[in-house]
Structure 1
């Protein structure tokens, strides 16, 4: 049974009291790691509802205000994120609601969402399909300099080392010279049998699972399709990891790796070229990492492009992540 006194007596709110020990403005105050459902359209026409982790903040400009109203941030995020699909426009409305709920004590707001989306992918040659999970990270801020929206994701691919491939080819040449002396006649059927044996591929280049982390800022008033972004990057790399795989698909993947030898520098440049050719992207950052099978460390390369610093209302690196 509810306490009758609570209906007539206001509950205490010490958050509005003046700071007890020390006064001063705070850059950001809020909540990190909120569990909420979100609705997101990856660009396939069917919005997905998924579990997300949300961080929500406002600043505190009133030096004598002890704290913000965190419950207001939570309730606003809960009410708006699970309805219509999340995009730049909906997050700008949410951030404006954050500030309206803290009128007089805050003039900046930011939010970050992290979740995964599932995308149906076709096999390379067979008629099979499977699901790929892609991480999504959305960051938005509203400050005195305007609204800023960025989207991040990750592509996993295979990278075959060009140097290792060249060294392997040399060993295969040496093996061939030993099996078929230059002064002897070449028998076609014998050569074919040799090529199909383990002796015919005495060395193989090292390849490894690799990741490309993308952070893009859409062009103004331009909707950004996550699937289109992923498709462009995966096409540029040529060796995205697969889902359903039969033998013909694995053979096609081996062919793709042999046709797309790349150092991490090559991968970063390929992705940069693909993103620079996308008119819907105003700016981007790319970080590729080849998790090497030869070394115990990663090979890493960075690339960026666009007018991020000039066009950005605020650098998201300064936000409380």
Structure 2
């Protein structure tokens, strides 16, 4: 029995389409030797305006062919080339996106504790106008302490010191007790959990995906990445890092811009930081791009 192929029938509107494909495809991928659950999207353009559709099953089967391979730019280029080979005469551009969580075991700042952190990552690969590109996107949480709030808090503490010790001969023990009390430290700066959204275009198409380098470079530039398991000594060290690392969203974006420019394999990037304000009911945002 011959099954009907409605998709093979010509469309009277004859309109090319920029993009046709699938999204939300469950797919295991291999990252640094480990199997990771990913969500994939895949598609091609449709230059033949009379065609009713593409061969989605061919895209789906091509995706399955990369499950066992270590994810790399070369593997993605081969995949997109297969997309186009199976759509000869229909398509000239192809795209694939893979999203997954990248787990890193992070040590505490002081103690021997450690814990896992999850970094959401998306890998976008495309062939368009015969040019192949791979872009990495990662979202990283960190703490940001407001420099303005810190200055205002210091001023209040100074004034409280003058009020409490006016005309009194200073004694070391009394000053230390005052510094350790809520009567002395009458104000503290506000901090907030913040996020850096980093998107980097790779300059080379070699066999590696620099996920860890990108994450480590981002966290090193910010200086106050959120922690996992902590003891009181770790929490104190984190408080110290925040106090010595005050930043507006503009400061964070500039730090990350410099850090991304130093990556030898970055051929362009987009940096966006979001500080979820604890003072305001809105977020503070800054963006910086290079060669985008």
Task: Report what 1:231 is aligned to.
Answer: 216
SS at match of 1:199: coil
State the alpha-carbon separation in 2 of the partners of residues 71 and 158 from structure 1: 45
State the alpha-carbon separation in 1 of the partners of residues 259 and 194 from structure 2: 18
The reply to whether residue 148 of structure 1 matches residue 148 of structure 2 is: no
1:59 Cα offset (Å): 1.1
SS at match of 1:148: strand
SS at match of 2:29: strand
Task: Report what 1:22 is aligned to.
Answer: 13
1:79 Cα offset (Å): 2.3
* Paired residues for 1:210-289 under 5 Å: 210-221=194-205, 223-289=208-274
CA-based RMSD of the aligned residues comes to 1.2
1:12-33 residue CA offsets vs partner (Å, 9 max, x unmatched): 22211211x4222111111121
Of 79, 84, 89, which aligns to 2:74?
89
Q: Moved runs in structure 1, 4+ residues, more than 4 A? A: none
State the alpha-carbon separation in 1 of the partners of residues 239 and 285 from structure 2: 23
1:133-191 residue CA offsets vs partner (Å, 9 max, x unmatched): 0000111111224111100001100000000000000000111111111x321011111
Number of aligned positions between the proteins: 291
Moved more, 126-135 or 106-115: 106-115
Task: Report what 1:133 is aligned to.
Answer: 118
Contact preservation (8 Å) 2:71, 2:209 = no
SS at match of 1:200: coil
1:262 Cα offset (Å): 0.3
Contact preservation (8 Å) 2:30, 2:71 = yes
State the alpha-carbon separation in 2 of the partners of residues 95 and 12 from structure 1: 29
Of 3, 7, 20, which aligns to 1:11?
3
Task: Report what 1:60 is aligned to.
Answer: 46
The reply to whether residue 78 of structure 1 matches residue 64 of structure 2 is: yes
State the alpha-carbon separation in 1 of the partners of residues 130 and 80 from structure 2: 14
Contact preservation (8 Å) 1:35, 1:51 = yes
1:251-277 residue CA offsets vs partner (Å, 9 max, x unmatched): 000000000000000000011111111
Contact preservation (8 Å) 1:218, 1:224 = no
- What is the TM-score when the length of structure 2 is the normalising length? 0.96
Task: Report what 1:208 is aligned to.
Answer: 192
Of 141, 156, 169, which aligns to 1:171?
156
SS at match of 2:194: strand
Contact preservation (8 Å) 2:24, 2:40 = yes
Contact preservation (8 Å) 2:13, 2:49 = no
Unaligned runs of 5+ in 2: none
- What is the TM-score when the length of structure 1 is the normalising length? 0.88
Contact preservation (8 Å) 2:63, 2:79 = yes
State the alpha-carbon separation in 1 of the partners of residues 29 and 221 from structure 2: 30
1:99 Cα offset (Å): 0.8
Of 156, 179, 182, which aligns to 1:195?
179
Contact preservation (8 Å) 1:131, 1:243 = yes
The reply to whether residue 161 of structure 1 matches residue 153 of structure 2 is: no
Contact preservation (8 Å) 2:113, 2:229 = yes
1:47-100 residue CA offsets vs partner (Å, 9 max, x unmatched): 3322211111111112221111111111111222x2112121111100000111
1:127 Cα offset (Å): 0.9
Moved more, 124-133 or 71-80: 71-80
Contact preservation (8 Å) 1:172, 1:202 = yes
Contact preservation (8 Å) 2:74, 2:205 = no
Unaligned runs of 5+ in 1: 1-8, 42-46, 309-321
